[in-house]
Structures are given as C-alpha cells and as structure tokens.
C-alpha cells in the first residue's frame, strides 16, 4: 500500500499534521574567465599545481549554478519560497555580477581570493544567504564543467 504524503489540514487547529520540508531549486548560467593563481607561490609552483588553469591570460567556463532552498510549505501560498524572488536574487547576486567578467580583475571578492570552484561556491552561497529567509536551508551547486561541480550548504 502506498502512503499518502499529502499535507493535511486539521480542521480544528488549521495546521499541517506533520512538518514536511520540500526542496525547490532554480538554475542560472554565467560565462566568466579566471586564472587560478596563488600570489604567495612562485611561478613554477603555480604552474605545477594549476597547470593550464594558470594561463597568465586566464581561461573561461560556462558556469551553471543551482540554488536549492529547503523549507516548510507555507499554508497560505503553498510555496516554500516564491520562485520569482529566487529568480531575482540569482540574477542580481550571480548573473549580473559574474557574467562575461574576468573574475580576478572585475569582481572585488576574487581580487585577493583564488577563484577556484570551491571558493566561488562559498562566495555565491554567502551572497544568496543574505537574501533568503533564515527559516530556509540553502544549498548551492556550481558546475564548472558538465563533469566537475562543487556544492556548499553552509557547514
């Protein structure tokens, strides 16, 4: 027998019988260039560690970022979060900020921070976290290529 997991409203208390969390997700894209380089290292060490990603003129990626917002379904709206708001936050905090930029030269937070995918996902998470209600969990997944991606959830 299949269990019915539909949220049910108690008529006497007008509340959901059990707390259910749902994950809603929104995807965005941006194209950006970067150079992986540690300013404290020698040219040789940077080349050895980062290889072609240390090209002095940089290289580019077509990034894909997914924001996953996890929370309870609002009884009145039926939403975990209004996706129009999430779309706007991602446009302002990610796409407008990073698209067609050289991350090392054009984006203040990466002028002194090596723009590895790992550092980028944490920066993106922090930017979105400020815009999303703290009652929700946030997980951000950043694809640098189709096969290489990182994920950060704030812990």
Active site residues per annotation: 53, 100, 144
In the block, which residue shows the tokens 């929370």?
A: 71
User: Angle 86-141-63 (CA atoms, 0-180°, nearest 5)?
Assistant: 90
3-state secondary structure of 134: coil
The whole-angstrom separation of Cα 7 and Cα 5 is 6
**Helices and strands, counts by H and E, the chain:** 5, 5
Which residues neighbour 22 within 8 Å (Cβ) at sequence distance 6 or greater? 70, 71, 72, 73, 80
Is residue 22 within 8 A of residue 68, CB to CB? The reply is no
């Amino acid at each position: 027998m299949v269990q019915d997991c539909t949220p049910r409203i108690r008529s006497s208390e007008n509340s959901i019988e059990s707390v259910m969390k749902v994950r809603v997700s929104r995807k965005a894209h941006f194209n950006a260039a970067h150079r992986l380089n540690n300013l404290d290292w020698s040219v040789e060490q940077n080349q050895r560690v980062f290889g072609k990603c240390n090209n002095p003129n940089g290289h580019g990626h077509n990034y894909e970022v997914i924001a996953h917002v996890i929370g309870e379904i609002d009884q009145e709206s039926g939403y975990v979060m209004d996706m129009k708001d999430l779309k706007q936050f991602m446009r302002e905090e990610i796409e407008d900020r990073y698209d067609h930029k050289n991350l090392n030269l054009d984006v203040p937070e990466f002028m002194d921070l090596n723009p590895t995918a790992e550092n980028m996902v944490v920066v993106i998470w922090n930017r979105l976290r400020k815009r999303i209600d703290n009652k929700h969990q946030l997980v951000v997944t950043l694809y640098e290529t189709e096969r290489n991606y990182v994920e950060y959830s704030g812990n």
